[in-house]
Amino acid sequence: MSKVEELKSRRDTQLTRLEAVIQELIAVISSDVTPFVQREMRRIFVAAGAYAETLDDDAVKRIKSTLVERAGGLQRELADKLSSTALWAGDDVPTAEGKTLEPNTAVWDVLQGLATSTATIARDLGFTEPEDGWDIVYRTPTWFIEGAYAPGLIEKYWTQLSLLRELDAEIGEAEAVERAERLAARWDTL
């Protein structure tokens, strides 16, 4: 097995590890969609003051039921959008470290779509957005969800991505050496 083949085999293994971490992250984030929408809508409801007081108990129950239903759709949509490995490990994704996904703008934009969708749900339910907005921003949970800890998984994601990038660089270097050796041998034999 050539050095390039060996490195490519290691890269495949590394990519599998990275994809496993990504799937864990998607599961944790997906599990947080309904609670996120509920938290934000509770905050909007409380801040709505006068409008919220006009709603009877049945209306509030209908709102809460609608939230669960709409959040379920958002959860499926989010999981689908996040399922692309290229979104997490494409060439335009910078290597970073830490406990946030913000440096990965493609993933971060998808996550902020939850905030936009939550604002849409609030408007659809009759809440009037204040001039300065509702200031809805999705942040990955900083607590355990179903035994998984998102900040730890995010750190693991950045580490696994960095290792993958290192292998890609090694493969590029090894391919260049093999190419140069092959061309030199060809030159010498002709």
Nearest 5°: the CA angle 143, 145, 151 is 50
C-alpha to C-alpha distances, 98 to 48, 95, 150, 151, 159, nearest whole angstrom: 36, 10, 11, 8, 9
Rounded Cα distance between 98 and 76, Å, is 27
Digit-coded pLDDT (tens) for 7-19:
999 999 999 999 9
Residue 92's pLDDT is 86
- Specify the DSSP class assigned to residue 147: T
pTM: 0.88
| Higher local confidence (pLDDT), 17 or 133 | 17
Closest CA to 80 of 110, 118, 50, 119: 110
Judged against a pLDDT cut of 90, whether residue 138 lies above it is answered with yes
Digit-coded pLDDT (tens) for 142-155:
999 989 999 999 99
Residue 58's pLDDT is 96
Residue 5's pLDDT is 93
